[in-house]
Amino acid sequence: MRYRLSPSILAADFTKLGEEIRKTEEAGAEYLHIDVMDGWFVPSISFGQPLVTSIRQGSRQFFDVHLMVQDPERYIGDFAKAGADGITVHAEACRHLDRVLSQIHEAGCRAGVALNPATPLSVLDYVYQKTDMVLIMTVNPGFGGQKLIPEMFGKIRTLRQRLDELHLETDIEVDGGVNRDTIVPLLEAGTNVCVAGSAVFRGDIGQNVRVLNGVLRDYEKRQESEGVG
């Protein structure tokens, strides 16, 4: 299993966005997390597809687009065209989740399903085969800089067990409150893709990416040496 860091540009300084993204890429972040908020599904409004089109020109990272948007089927084609590599939609925001996942695949992207903290894993029961990544929100979505909700460790553990029972190598991504203190317990619970906003963009961006990526590489090596994954 590959372990990846996905820096969330929500915490970047937008006056230097291109430069800050470049720093994450140069320091070794293969993914970039792009939070799209509509002011309806979540209280905040962030940015839309024109921004994705623009930053796509300066980055070769995997664009991990997280749509915190009601009825996201309206925007899948636009974000795919703008340069998304993966599109994650909220189960709570879709009237027809199964259909939306097919739509993401038809647009040529990897399909993710995000679950708010209070949403049970059972909503995934009939879409596991169509889901490339499950995003477990470890905070209530809408704002960066929040504290991780500890009950989410059990949710991640249960999800990884369920995926193992189904012989699926689906990615588990976590988003919210990921930092140097919480990252290892999150990996031990079963996470393999870590979104980090404040922990990357506050302070020395390159150094933050190297430290967090170093933790992921050490964990990956340990898993390999123990013959896991």
Ligand X SMILES: O=C(CO)[C@H](O)[C@H](O)COP(=O)(O)O
Footprint on this chain of ligand X (rule: CB under 6 A): 8, 10-11, 33, 35, 139, 141-146, 175-178, 195-199
User: Distances from the Cα of 144 to the Cαs of 11, 14, 37, 59, 148, in angstroms?
Assistant: 7, 14, 12, 23, 11
Min separation Cβ 102 and ligand X, Å = 25
Min separation Cβ 41 and ligand X, Å = 10
Phi first, then psi: what are they for 50, rounded to 5°?
-60, -35
**CB closer to ligand X, 90 vs 162:** 90
Q: Is 175 annotated as a binding residue?
A: yes
Phi first, then psi: what are they for 67, rounded to 5°?
-90, 105
Our answer to whether residue 13 is catalytic in this structure is: no
Q: Is 145 annotated as a binding residue?
A: yes
Q: Is 143 annotated as a binding residue?
A: yes
Catalytic residue among 35, 38, 132, 171: 35
CA distance 202 to 197: 8
Min separation Cβ 69 and ligand X, Å = 12
**CB closer to ligand X, 86 vs 141:** 141
**CB closer to ligand X, 104 vs 139:** 139
Q: For residue 226, which amino acid is it?
A: E
Our answer to whether residue 164 is catalytic in this structure is: no
**CB closer to ligand X, 12 vs 111:** 12
Q: Is 112 annotated as a binding residue?
A: no
**Residues 134 and 113: beta-carbon distance below 8 Å:** yes
Q: For residue 80, which amino acid is it?
A: A
Q: Is 35 annotated as a binding residue?
A: yes
Closest CB to ligand X: residue number: 197
Catalytic residue among 38, 64, 132, 175: 175
Instruction: Provide the annotated binding site.
Output: 8, 33, 35, 66, 142-145, 175-177, 197-198
Instruction: Provide the annotated binding site for substrate.
Output: 8, 66, 142-145, 175-177, 197-198
Catalytically active residues are 35, 175
